[in-house]
Amino acid sequence: MPHTANSLKAELNARGWRLTPQREKILTIFQNLPKGNHLSAEELHELMEKQGEGISLSTIYRSVKLMSRMGILRELELAEGHKHYELQQPYPHHHHHIVCVQCNRTIEFKNDSILKHSLKQCEKEGFQLIDCQLTVTTICPEAIRMGWPSALPSNWCCTRTISKGHIDGQEAGEPPGSLPDLQ
């Protein structure tokens, strides 16, 4: 069930917090984001400033962290060192992300086999699955057209080909789908 200001207020009150106008505005912004959009704390701050909201960046950081711990927002690390947030969606609305390391363009995709494999592995090891998210770091077609990959160090990215569950260069006897040491 999607979070509303009233449900957020109830959850905050139950934990000894209160629903401030700033937290309510943050929730509203995330509820109104087009599907597939994510915001960093900095982007949220910029957006709120454009809307005339006087809120400090530190307040935004604290609020999104709190809302993330409460399960209202989902914290994503889509680019190295850059956390983004989106509304938490209940199963089966999980999704994964493909992210360009040059321009941060992000595309969401669904793949139930990733979730099923993760769940099976967790059960095998005695873990309880809480969330399943995969971020695939890439170089988008536009960045390739701009010649950006030529600036990458040769050892920076995986150059192995994955096809039909087999990774070129995979050693005999390794379980299918396991990743060989890429160093």
Decide which of 60 and 174 is more confident. Answer: 60
Strand partners, 132: none
pLDDT in tens, 18-75: 888 999 899 899 988 887 788 999 999 999 999 998 899 999 999 999 998 888 888 8
Q: Give the least confident one: 14-18, 75-79, 139-143.
A: 75-79
Q: Which domains does the chain have, with CATH numbers?
A: 1-88 (1.10.10.10), 91-154 (3.30.1490.190)
Average pLDDT over residues 62-91: 82
pLDDT of 157 reads: 53
Give the orientation angle of helix 41-50 with respect to helix 21-32, to 10 degrees. Answer: 100
Tokens in use for 156?
């920076």
pLDDT in tens, 141-170: 988 888 876 555 555 555 443 333 433 443
Decide which of 164 and 138 is more confident. Answer: 138
pLDDT of 121 reads: 93
Distance, in Å, from the CA atom of 91 to the CA atom of 131, rounded to the nearest integer, reads 9
Decide which of 91 and 56 is more confident. Answer: 56
How distant is the alpha carbon of residue 99 from its chain centre?
A: 10
Known binding site for Zn(2+): residues? 100, 103, 140
Known binding site: residues? 94, 100, 103, 140
Known binding site for Fe cation: residues? 94
Contact (Cβ atoms closer than 8 angstroms) between residue 58 and residue 71: no
% the chain with pLDDT above 70: 74
pLDDT of 43 reads: 92
Contact (Cβ atoms closer than 8 angstroms) between residue 96 and residue 139: no
Other Cβ atoms less than 10 A from the Cβ of 65: the count is: 15
Name the pLDDT band for 127 (thresholds 50, 70, 90).
very high
Contact (Cβ atoms closer than 8 angstroms) between residue 79 and residue 104: yes
Decide which of 122 and 16 is more confident. Answer: 122
